[in-house]
Structure 1
C-alpha cells in the first residue's frame, strides 16, 4: 500500500519522510485545495528528502478552468520545476462544461516531459467520471488520478471508487484515493474500495487542522499499519 502525504512546508516534508510516507504532494494554500508552492520551497524540499516529491500545478483557487494566461503561468511553473529534483507534477484542467480540457492538458504534458503526472481532484468535478477516465487513458504520461469518487468524502463514495479501481485494472491511470480518509477507518476503506494508493492531509495533522504541523505519532502509526498490509 502506497501512502502519499501532503506537505506544505519543509518541516512537513522531513516529518513525512521520517515517519514512513512513500511520496509527498507539495502544495501551498491547503485550505484552498492546494496551489503551486514557491520555487524556493520546491528546491529546499527536493534537496532534503529522498522520497518522490510531486508538486501541485494550480495558479489560483477560483476554478479549474484555465484561460491562456493561466496556461502560460502553469507552463512556466512546470519549466522551472524541471530544474529541481521534483519527481512529478499534479495538475487537472477542466472545460467550463465539466469535461477534461485536452487542449490545455496536452500542452502541460508536453512541458512536463518525463515527470510523473497525477491528475488531481478536479476529476471530482467532472460531469461523468467514467467518461473522463477514458479520456485520461489516452495519455500514458498520467500515472494516477487523485479522487474521492465525487464531491463527497471518499468513504461516502466507495462504490464509485471501486468502479474506477476495477476499470484501472484493465489499463489506465491508477486510482489514488483521497479526501476524508482517517487513520481509524482506513483499513475498512481499503478493503471495500480496492485501492492500493491513499492520500492523507488534515487527518494526520495535530488537531486534524490543515494549518497545523504533521502529528508524527499518528503518521508513523498509519504508515506502519499500511506497510504491513
Structure 2
C-alpha cells in the first residue's frame, strides 16, 4: 500500500515524511483543488525530504479544459521543473466534450521522461471506463488520481473497484483520493482493492486544508495501511 500526502510547503512535506508517507504531492492553492507551486518551493521541498516529490502542473482552476496557451505554459513548466529533482508530475487535460485531450496530453508527455499521475480531471470525464482504456495506452502514466466520479471517494466504492479491476495486469495504478478518513480507509481499501491512497485534509490539523500536515495523523493512516499489507502495525 502506498500513501501519498498533499503538501503545500516544506514543513508539510517534512511532517508527511516523519509520519511515514511514501510520497508527496506538492501543490499550491489547495482551496482551488491544487495549482502549480512556485519553482523555489519545489526546489526547497525536494532538498528537505528523501521521499519522492510529485509536482502538480495546473495553471488555473477554471476548468480542466486547457487551451493552446495553457499547454505551452505547462510544457515549459514541466521542462524547467524537471531540473529540480522532482520524481514525477501530476497533470491532465480534457476536451470540451469531457474526454481525455490526447493531443494536449501527448505534448506534455513529450516534454519529460518522468512518470506521470493523471489528476482528478479524470473525475469530470463523461465515461471513466473509456478514459481509463485510453490512458492505459500511455506507458508513462503510472497512476490515475480519482474519487470515482464522486465528490467523496467513500461514496464511489463500486466505481473505484471497477476501475481497479479494469486496470489489473497493467503498470498503471488507480489511486483513490478525496474525502478519505483514518476511520474509513481500512475498509475502503479492502473493499476496492486499491493499492494507492491520497490524503489531504484527512491528515491535517483539525482536518482543515488551511492547517498544517500532522505527522501523528499520517502515522495513524500508515499503520492502517501496514495492517492491510502485513497484518501488523509499527
Q: TM-score, normalised by structure 2?
A: 0.95
The match for 1:106 is: 106
C-alpha distance in 1 between matches for 2:180 and 2:186: 10
> CA offset at residue 56 of structure 1?
0.2
| Structure 2 counterparts to residues 1-229 of structure 1, below 5 A | 1-113=1-113, 115-171=114-170, 173-229=172-228
Deviations 1:110-154 (A, max 9, x none): 0022x1200000000000000000110111100010001003311
Check whether the contact 1:91–1:120 (CA below 8 A) recurs between aligned residues.
yes
Deviations 1:205-228 (A, max 9, x none): 111110100122211121122123
C-alpha distance in 1 between matches for 2:223 and 2:193: 19
Deviations 1:168-216 (A, max 9, x none): 1132521000001000110010011110100000011111110100122
Please give the root-mean-square deviation of Cα atoms over the aligned residues, in Å.
Answer: 0.9
The list of structure 1 runs, each at least 4 consecutive aligned residues, that deviate by more than 4 angstroms after superposition, is none
> CA offset at residue 98 of structure 1?
0.3
What 5-or-longer segments of structure 1 have no aligned partner?
Answer: none
C-alpha distance in 2 between matches for 1:15 and 1:162: 31
> CA offset at residue 71 of structure 1?
0.8
C-alpha distance in 2 between matches for 1:14 and 1:222: 16
C-alpha distance in 2 between matches for 1:196 and 1:153: 18
C-alpha distance in 2 between matches for 1:217 and 1:47: 23
Aligned to 1:228, what secondary structure does the other structure show?
helix
Check whether the contact 1:54–1:116 (CA below 8 A) recurs between aligned residues.
no
What 5-or-longer segments of structure 2 have no aligned partner?
Answer: 229-234
Aligned to 1:185, what secondary structure does the other structure show?
helix
Check whether the contact 1:125–1:151 (CA below 8 A) recurs between aligned residues.
no
* Aligned residue pairs, count: 228
C-alpha distance in 1 between matches for 2:216 and 2:47: 25
C-alpha distance in 2 between matches for 1:6 and 1:188: 22
